[in-house]
Structure 1
Amino acid sequence: MTEDTSHPVRVATAQSHFLAEGPTWDAERSRLLWVDIMAGIVHIGHLSDDDLIVVDERVEFPDTAGAVAVDPDGRLLVAGTHRLFVRELDGRITGGPELIDGAERRFNDGKPDPRGRYVVGTKGEGETDTELLLVVEGGAARVIDDDLTLSNGLAWSADGRTLYSVDTLRRRIHVREYDPATGDVGARRVLTEFADGGYPDGLTVDETGDLWVAMWGDGCVLRLSPEGAVVSRVDLPVPHVSCPTFAGDDLDVLVITTATEGMTAEQRASHPLAGRLFTARPGVRGLPAHHWNRSRVLEGVSKGIA
């Protein structure tokens, strides 16, 4: 049963995005990063004392920017259309080899695993059942799933031994065992499936083990128990909610990205805050983001991009 629990949100950015996604908190530098996918931009900012987000830098990549991750020193790893890009500490952008192909397929949501490998999924055009979930290690991609409709949100349990992943167009959240030492996965099962009310998108896990999933088209973030039951929800004044993460020095601020993608002019007029970022304080803390590890992910295979 869903508790009668709500968490007020506030509008945290003045800028509207077409497809804001993948927020991540870089604890070592107290900064928030997120992407505007189709614009190929990584936004870097910080949280003010009143939970607003101040944008400090916009980094343009030569491709789409499906997701962003940070290494211990602050280097950025970005999922481009078919390859991964690195932004070095001096600002240079380098790119690895093409890991996927297909004119209508691109990398979508991705995150480092507990040992620094990079797990990333794909999105195609239309409703297919051949999209991928991959783990990238040593400059090569190994397939975890090859039967998804749209690979989306990813999260691990606190001990790293459980992996959650989203298959958006089937409205499913999957769960399986995960071995952080090897990157091997166990059998996949459906944790929960949503009959209606929007599509699951980005995902994060809090310190209690509950899952927080953005519901695209339903204007909310749902909090789920580890067994998949809805515990509470965060309602937003926009329909397309893309991804939540916990941010701030105490990891107690829920940052939520949204989008204007797919909205008509009439819908935009009815939802003038669409595409902004929002914050809330749900009374629970998140887990620290995993770092990506260059020696694990690329192992010296990257090449310069002109």
Structure 2
Amino acid sequence: DHAFTEGIEGPASDAQGNVYAVNFGKQQTIGKIDRWGNGIAWASLPNRGTGNGIVLDSQGDLLVADYVEHKIWRVDRVTGAFVLHCHEPTMHQPNDLAIADDGTLYASDPNWSDGTGRLWRIDRQGIARIVADGMGTTNGLDISPDGKYLAVNESNQRKIWRFEIQKDGSLAAKTLFKEFPDHGFDGMRYDDQGNLYVTRYGEGTVVVLSPEGEILRRIDVLGARPSNICFGGPDGKTVCVTEVEHGRLIRFRVEHAGRTPRFSPENRRADWIDKIHRWPDQVDPANTAHTANPPKSDLPWLASVQTLADWQEARVRVQARFDSLLGPMPPVGTAPKLEVLSEDRVEGVLRRRVRIELETDVSMDAYILLPDGPDGLDSSDLRPGMVALHPTNNATIEEIAGVGNRGPRATGLEFAKLGYIVICPKCFLWQEGVGFDQAVANHAKRHPQARGMAKMVYDAQRALDALLSIPQVDPKRVFAFGHSLGAKQVLYLMASDPRVLAGVASEGGVDLRSTNWEAPWYLNPPPRIPTGTTSLEHRANLGADLGADWGHDELLMLIAPRPVLIMGGQKGPGAADGSQSLPAMLGAFGTWRLFGSEIDRKKPVDAAARLGLALWNHGQGHVFGDWQFEQARAWFEAYPTIIGL
């Protein structure tokens, strides 16, 4: 209790299920509470500013009513930076906000001292105009799901009014929607069926009103003073209430999702791409033309690539180098035999532990996670699929599948809860329980010409075969995720297998000197990358055998044009990606640009939307937490549509 002050208000929920509410710990702050209930003081309003109502715009940024300084702030959802959207000194407050489909805001403006109030309309340029005056103490307000009506309550007068919204955004035809004999009102929100959820301040409930104003139910919020309300969660059916008496957030589930503004998808896309491609100015490839940015390499035959046709020819040679580097493994692409070892249900997910036959007397354990269970899926209900690859951790697939734990490290389970069908295969280093060195020796005995990474890629591909054998998996939406060890596998899996549409590689180490790529379970004997140089500077002068002078710029080229997000921690113990990843990424970047011109002709999108190779340098070290999970989710949700695959 009392994580918030008595000024607790807001709230608003983003697409990842985080809830933002004001005055976390102290006045003037904005708190951010993740889906697992962890809270931080995420931002602080400038100067004397103190927040009240919050809504999200088409980009997912926050719009916050600052009742002390008579302002509305726009707050960047990633950086927390404040930009002034509107300053209207003649406002009494503003208090609460509602946002229309076109981004127009409506703000309540009570004068508590004399019991009066009014309503303002704020256009997308931040210009405010009074649209209703001479009212009681205007407080909570929202727009109906069809966009036709604005409902607003008067706290002291205990009345709810409804206006018709005109084409120019003005209000008309004011009618009394509902009146109560006791207790006050505060925030309120519509669900997608037109039912209105109203906080009853003093009564300690949320009352649900039908579109006709009939009381459908009363919900106890475990405190006498609910101040505001929002809908959120993956399906929009989790209601969050700010409660003043105990300074806390209360959540409960409902039948219908909250009303969602019908924003333009193109606006969301352009903003997402712009924010994720934050390359340093000195190496900003987005500022170069297609023709001036071919793939960078000192290999003479690759340096001559200037067109997409050139690359398609050169790719055959790069693929041969890649195959020679890894070494031969058995063929893939058919459904493997598997045995179900156990199953249970957790948070709406059927979790099966299976054993997949790889070769004679060689198997691999995995978890398959099915959202809603088999009875909730049929052959027409296609879901995205994901191969989730665990990090170096003795908990292996138990952790990533959520056995005994929750949160972002249970990545496979969290994505299954979002509707993905997920497979979490166990790395061969742990499968037999004999230790890393013996596991590598056993692999080398069976396949003496294949490196350890070849075994990891093969196992991941067989897991992919098992995933694609599930009828409900959409083969056009198959993704790969991994952190640390898992991230290494994501990059090599995507270079090996075009069935993976997009990937997130968190802290795997793109630079060959950043982590232990020379280990026998990865690339030992390692590609010869001399200390103090990059692969781009020395490879042309090496007379090495095919593959021995391999560089990760070539690895990334093989992934193009499919999107891959590199998450970097930059510094701290174990940090593997960050600015050190840029040389190899820049060496491969031109390949994506060559595909960009083809995509241009198919679908006009923002220039940056073509760039499917991205570095997100979060600077938090070798971690995968709530923030990283949110970005991974957004990447997978945004990119298949953006680049038209």
TM category (shorter chain) comes to 0.7 to 0.9
1:31 is displaced (CA, Å) by 2.2
Alpha carbons of structure 1 residues 201 and 71: separation in structure 2 relative to 1, 3 Å: same
Partner of 1:184: 170
Q: Runs (4+) of structure 1 moved beyond 4 Å?
A: 289-292
| Alignment of structure 1 residues 116-127 onto 2, 5 Å | 116-127=103-114
1:57 is displaced (CA, Å) by 4.4
Residue 280 of structure 2 corresponds to residue 280 of structure 1: no
Find the residue that maps to 2:87 and give its secondary structure. Answer: coil
Letter of the structure 2 residue corresponding to residue 243 of structure 1: N
Residue 45 of structure 2 corresponds to residue 75 of structure 1: no
- In 2, Cα distance between the equivalents of 1:73 and 1:96? 14
TM-score, with normalisation over the residues of structure 2? 0.38
Partner of 1:222: 207
Residue 180 of structure 2 corresponds to residue 194 of structure 1: yes
Alpha carbons of structure 1 residues 116 and 286: separation in structure 2 relative to 1, 3 Å: same
1:64 is displaced (CA, Å) by 1.5
Residue 87 of structure 2 corresponds to residue 98 of structure 1: yes
Alpha carbons of structure 1 residues 231 and 192: separation in structure 2 relative to 1, 3 Å: same
Partner of 2:5: 17
Alpha carbons of structure 1 residues 283 and 73: separation in structure 2 relative to 1, 3 Å: closer
Whether the aligned pair in 1 keeps the contact of 2:99 and 2:143 (CA below 8 Å) is: no
Whether the aligned pair in 1 keeps the contact of 2:144 and 2:194 (CA below 8 Å) is: yes
1:228 is displaced (CA, Å) by 1.3
Partner of 1:41: 29
Instruction: Answer 1 or 2: which has greater strand percent.
Output: 1
Residue 232 of structure 2 corresponds to residue 247 of structure 1: yes
Number of aligned residue pairs = 258
Deviation sequence 1:113-147 (CA, Å, 0-9, x none): 22101111113342332x22100123321112222
**For the aligned residues, what is the CA RMSD?**
2.4
- In 1, Cα distance between the equivalents of 2:249 and 2:79? 28
1:60 is displaced (CA, Å) by 0.7
Find the residue that maps to 1:160 and give its secondary structure. Answer: coil
Letter of the structure 1 residue corresponding to residue 18 of structure 2: R
Whether the aligned pair in 1 keeps the contact of 2:228 and 2:241 (CA below 8 Å) is: yes
Instruction: Answer 1 or 2: which has greater helix percent.
Output: 2
Alpha carbons of structure 1 residues 285 and 90: separation in structure 2 relative to 1, 3 Å: closer
Alpha carbons of structure 1 residues 87 and 285: separation in structure 2 relative to 1, 3 Å: closer
Deviation sequence 1:20-48 (CA, Å, 0-9, x none): 22212222x43222223992222222222
Once the two structures are overlaid, the 10-residue window that deviates more, 55-64 or 207-216, is 55-64
Find the residue that maps to 1:187 and give its secondary structure. Answer: strand
1:235 is displaced (CA, Å) by 1.0
1:219 is displaced (CA, Å) by 0.6
- In 2, Cα distance between the equivalents of 1:15 and 1:282? 25
1:241 is displaced (CA, Å) by 0.9
Higher alpha-carbon Rg? 2
Deviation sequence 1:258-297 (CA, Å, 0-9, x none): 114xxxxxxxxxxxxx2211111133322225769xx9xx
Alpha carbons of structure 1 residues 139 and 287: separation in structure 2 relative to 1, 3 Å: closer
1:169 is displaced (CA, Å) by 1.0
Partner of 1:54: 38
Alpha carbons of structure 1 residues 275 and 56: separation in structure 2 relative to 1, 3 Å: closer
| Alignment of structure 1 residues 82-93 onto 2, 5 Å | 82-88=70-76, 89-93=78-82
- In 2, Cα distance between the equivalents of 1:152 and 1:236? 19
Whether the aligned pair in 1 keeps the contact of 2:192 and 2:260 (CA below 8 Å) is: no
Partner of 2:135: 148
Whether the aligned pair in 1 keeps the contact of 2:194 and 2:210 (CA below 8 Å) is: yes
Whether the aligned pair in 1 keeps the contact of 2:112 and 2:137 (CA below 8 Å) is: no
* Identical counterparts, % of pairs: 25
Whether the aligned pair in 1 keeps the contact of 2:145 and 2:260 (CA below 8 Å) is: no
| Alignment of structure 1 residues 149-164 onto 2, 5 Å | 149-164=136-151
- In 2, Cα distance between the equivalents of 1:280 and 1:97? 34
Structure 1: gaps (5+ residues): 1-12, 261-273, 296-306
Letter of the structure 2 residue corresponding to residue 178 of structure 1: I
